[in-house]
Amino acid sequence: MRFAVREAGISDAAAIVALVRRFNVEEGNPPGVLTVEELSRIAFGEQPRFGALVAESRGDVVGYAVFFRSYDTEHAAKGLYLQDLYIVPEARGQGIGRALMTAVARACLADEGCYLFWNARQGNRDGRAFYRAIGAREEPVVTLSLQPDALRRLAERG
């Protein structure tokens, strides 16, 4: 399969939203609430919150990566956090994941970063094997989150 990786633009918003929904469902979650309008505003507006890359084959977006700047205070180092990496199942095994990760790594270095960090679900054996194959190591870190209700409670009551 021939493909190209490029920086995403506002014209890719609908395709990215469709892939985000596929990704969510594939992981056993609801499709999510992201809309084309929200993605267009937050990713391609005046102050983008994150960067996005797409992989395109025969005019179709078959994969994407979403990432944003990060900072490690322990090492006083800039880097990127990879939020999403997704390739449609029918396009996997063609080098698209590696190409997207290569492009994210290059974006990190271009931004004077020295690390790339992300999470993978425990049950994502294929993804974790792919990440190890490109040189990633699994860190002994537990991911925690404050979801909307808990976030509001903490902000309001301390």
* CATH no., domain 4-157: 3.40.630.30
Radius of gyration of the chain (CA): 16
pLDDT of residue 122: 87
Q: What CA–CA distance (Å, rounded) separates 60 from 22?
A: 15
Distance (Å, rounded) from C-alpha 145 to C-alpha 25?
21
Domain-by-domain residue ranges, the chain?
4-157
CA angle 45, 112, 106 (to 5 degrees): 75
* Separation between Cα atoms, residue 88 and residue 26, nearest integer Å: 10
Buried b (16+ CB within 10 A) or exposed e, 88-106: beebbebebbebbbebbbe
Give the integer Cα–Cα distance in Å for 88 and 12.
Answer: 15
Could you read off the pLDDT tens digit of each residue along the chain, which spans 158 residues? 899 999 999 999 999 999 999 999 998 899 999 999 999 999 999 999 999 999 999 999 999 999 999 999 988 999 999 999 999 999 999 999 999 999 999 999 999 999 999 999 888 999 999 999 999 999 988 888 999 999 999 999 98
Smallest CA-to-CA distance from 69 within 12, 22, 30, 108 is with 108
pLDDT of residue 73: 95
